[in-house]
């Protein structure tokens, strides 16, 4: 597999400072993030790895504005996410962050093109324009002949491609992907990562991918490791 790796700037797109997050399990408090700080710069293609339970998904949810920390701050550019109202945060998330879930989270009653168009429709886009953009994005990810298929009529790899197209609908500044290959075989998994990296480069997007596969992590521009809720080492370039 060959993936073009671009140069990137030193201007931060996404920053986290002193993130703390715990969960209650019965009468116990289980710490997940322990004062974690992180900076993702513009154009970076970063991969985040760590053992099961290390806090990878919790960190990604927190960075995406999906799960508030107990303490600490997350900034997208100059915006402090958790200082915003719930409505303002939802709008920012929809317009500026593209999130790719491991389990796709496509709405089963909507076709592929309708699923991809939905974020733009939420922003008030016209039906005709959003459908045209959604169709073009599906074509770009290799699903030009699957526009009107329901998720149940798509394979796992095709559903993930549709989810990637959806994440790009509103032209976000950063793409966050949570184990995008977790439900795929090795061949389809590598194809999805190659697609993500190519799309991020072509569109000039910053990318942060959570993965358990160290061989995939080597394809990015930097590799971050999390252990027991903290960075095991500073991000290092590859």
With contact defined as beta carbons under 8 Å apart, do 202 and 25 qualify?
no
For residue 212, what are the domain limits? 12-237
Pair of tokens at residue 104: 């796709």
The verdict on residue 4 lying in a domain is no
Query: Max CA-CA distance within the chain?
Result: 53
Burial of 208-231, coded b for 16+ CB within 10 Å and e otherwise, reads bbbbebeebbebbbbbbbbeebbb
The verdict on residue 3 lying in a domain is no
The verdict on residue 172 lying in a domain is yes
φ/ψ (deg, to 5) at 75? -125, 130
Q: What is the pLDDT of residue 1?
A: 30
Q: pLDDT digit string (tens) for 150-164?
A: 999 999 999 999 999
Task: Kindly indicate the confidence band of residue 9, based on its pLDDT and cuts at 50, 70 and 90.
Answer: low
N- to C-terminal Cα separation, the chain: 16
Asked whether residue 10 carries a pLDDT value surpassing 80, the answer given is no
Measure the CA dihedral 185/190/195/196, to 10°.
90
The verdict on residue 167 lying in a domain is yes
Burial of 147-165, coded b for 16+ CB within 10 Å and e otherwise, reads bebbbeebeebbbbbbbbb
Q: What is the CATH number of the domain that holds 81?
A: 3.40.50.300
The verdict on residue 7 lying in a domain is no
Number of domains in the chain: 1
The verdict on residue 1 lying in a domain is no
Asked whether residue 20 carries a pLDDT value surpassing 70, the answer given is yes
| CA gap 57, 79 in Å, rounded | 22
DSSP E strands, the chain: 12-25, 28-41, 45-49, 71-76, 79-80, 97-100, 174-178, 206-210, 222-227, 230-231, 236-237
More confident residue, 56 or 10: 56
The verdict on residue 110 lying in a domain is yes
Q: What is the pLDDT of residue 204?
A: 87
Checking 217-221 for CB contacts under 8 A at 24+ apart, the result is: 217/47, 217/48, 217/49, 218/47, 219/1, 219/3, 219/5, 219/45, 219/47, 219/193, 219/194, 220/5, 220/45, 220/46, 220/47, 221/5, 221/6, 221/8, 221/44, 221/45, 221/46
Q: pLDDT digit string (tens) for 82-122?
A: 999 999 999 999 999 999 998 999 999 999 999 999 999 99
More confident residue, 214 or 177: 177
The verdict on residue 188 lying in a domain is yes
């Amino acid at each position: 597999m060959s993936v073009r790796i671009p140069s990137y700037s030193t201007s931060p797109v996404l920053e986290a400072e002193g993130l703390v997050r715990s969960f209650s399990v019965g009468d116990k408090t289980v710490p997940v993030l322990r004062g974690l700080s992180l900076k993702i710069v513009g154009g970076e293609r970063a991969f985040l790895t760590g053992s099961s339970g290390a806090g990878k998904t919790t960190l990604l949810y927190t960075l995406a504005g999906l799960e508030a920390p107990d303490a600490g701050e997350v900034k997208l550019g100059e915006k402090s996410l958790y200082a915003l109202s719930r409505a303002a945060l939802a709008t920012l998330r929809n317009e500026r962050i593209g999130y790719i879930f491991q389990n796709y989270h496509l709405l089963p009653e909507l076709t592929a093109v309708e699923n991809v168009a939905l974020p733009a429709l939420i922003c008030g886009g016209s039906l005709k324009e959003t459908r045209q953009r959604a169709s073009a994005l599906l074509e770009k990810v290799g699903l030009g002949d699957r526009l009107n298929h329901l998720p149940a009529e798509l394979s796992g790899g095709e559903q993930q491609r549709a989810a990637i197209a959806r994440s790009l609908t509103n032209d976000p500044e950063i793409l966050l992907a949570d184990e995008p290959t977790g439900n795929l075989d090795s061949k389809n998994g590598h194809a999805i990562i190659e697609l993500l990296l190519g799309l991020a480069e072509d569109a000039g997007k910053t990318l942060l991918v959570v993965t358990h596969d160290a061989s995939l992590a080597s394809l990015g521009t930097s590799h971050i490791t999390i252990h027991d809720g903290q960075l095991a080492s500073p991000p290092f370039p590859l």
